[in-house]
Amino acid sequence: MEKFEVHILGCGSALPTTRHHATSQVIDLRDKLYMIDCGESAQSQYRKAGLSFARLGHIFISHLHGDHCFGLMGLISTFGLLGRTATLHIHAFPELETLMRPWLDYFCAGMTYEVEFHPFAHGCTDIIYEDRSVSVQAFPLSHRVPCSGFVFQEKPTAAHIRRDMIECFEIPFSQINRIKNGEDYVTPDGKVIPNSRLTTPADTPRKYVYCSDTRFNPNNVQYTRNADLLFHEATFAEEHAARAEQTCHSTARQAAEMAQRSAAKRLLIGHYSARYTDERILLDEARQVFEQTLLAEEGKCYKL
C-alpha cells in the first residue's frame, strides 16, 4: 500500500503545557505532506519529527483560535530563511489572510517564495483542494467560532500487477503502467493476455477525517462515515461534560460515539485539556464505547 500516515506535532488544547504543544498535524500521503492546523511551536515539532520542509505544499487551518494558527508566522519565516521557492498554499477562512497579510508584508518582505491564501467560507462543504493523490473536503463543526473539519479522501490507485505474470510473459518495463491502468497485454507474437489475468485489484482508497474543536454533533456522521482513521478532539473526561458543553468541546466518550456511529476503523483522540496529567482516563472512557481508540502522542506517527 502507498504511504498514508498522520504525524502528530501537537495535541494539547489552548493552554500549552510542558507535556503538550498546541495543535498541529502533518499528513504524509504518497510522500507529499499536508499540514492541518499550525499552533505555536509547530515548526520545531516538525523538525523534531524529521519531516521534510520541501515536501510541504498545503496547510489547512480549521479555525482562527490562536492554538491552531499562531505557529504560521514562524513556519513561513523559516521557509524564507531556508530559501524556499515553491509557493506555500494556505487554506483557511478569509479572515486569516486579512490578519496575516500586514504581518507577512512587514516581517517577510523580500522572501524567496510566495504565500498564497485559498479562502473558503464558514459552513463550506466543498472539496477545497485536490490533486492526483487526494481530495480534501471541508465540513462545518460546532464550535464557539466558525470551525471546519476536513476529510482527506485518497484517490483510487492503480491495480497491482502480478510479478509472476511479468516473469511468465516476460512483460517489458515499458508496458507495466499501461497494464496497471487496465490494459491487456499483447505478446510479441500477437497473443492477447487479458488484464484480469495480469493484475490483482487496487487497494481500497483510504479516508482520514479530522474533527477539530467541536461539540458532539452526530449530524457530521455524513462526513466522518467509514473513516479508516478518525481524529476527533476529546478535550474533556466525562466528569467535565458540562464544561465541554459550555466551551463547545467534546468528551472522550462523545468522540468515541462519533467513531462508533461513523463505523470508523480506528479513532485517534487529542486536544487534551491541560487539567489532565495522565490522559489514560480519556482513553479508558473512549474505549468503553469504541475499542479501537488511540491516544494521540506528540512525535508519533499513525498509519492508515
Catalytic center residues = 67
Nearest to its own copies of 70, 120 (CB atom): 70
- 173 CB-near residues (< 8 Å, 6+ apart): none
The span from the CA of 119 to the CA of 134, in Å, is: 19
Residue 144 is a binding residue for its own copies (CB under 8 A): no
The span from the CA of 276 to the CA of 261, in Å, is: 27
Q: What mask of x and - would describe binding to its own copies in positions 99 to 128, judged by CB under 8 A?
A: x--xx--xx---------------------
Residue 263 is a binding residue for its own copies (CB under 8 A): no
Residue 48 is a binding residue for its own copies (CB under 8 A): yes
Q: SS3 for 8? A: strand
Residue 257 is a binding residue for its own copies (CB under 8 A): no
Nearest to its own copies of 34, 46 (CB atom): 46
Q: Is 79 exposed, middle or buried (0-12, 13-18, 19+ CB in 10 A)?
A: buried
The span from the CA of 1 to the CA of 43, in Å, is: 29
Q: Which of 24, 25, 41, 224 binds its own copies (CB under 8 A)?
A: 41
Nearest to its own copies of 273, 293 (CB atom): 273
Stretch that binds its own copies, among 71-79, 190-198, 220-228, 265-273 (CB under 8 A): 71-79
Closest CA to 143 of 225, 275, 37, 238: 37
The span from the CA of 206 to the CA of 87, in Å, is: 27
The footprint of its own copies (CB under 8 A) covers: 14-18, 21-22, 40-41, 43-44, 47-48, 64-67, 70-71, 73-74, 77-78, 81-82, 95, 99, 102-103, 106-107
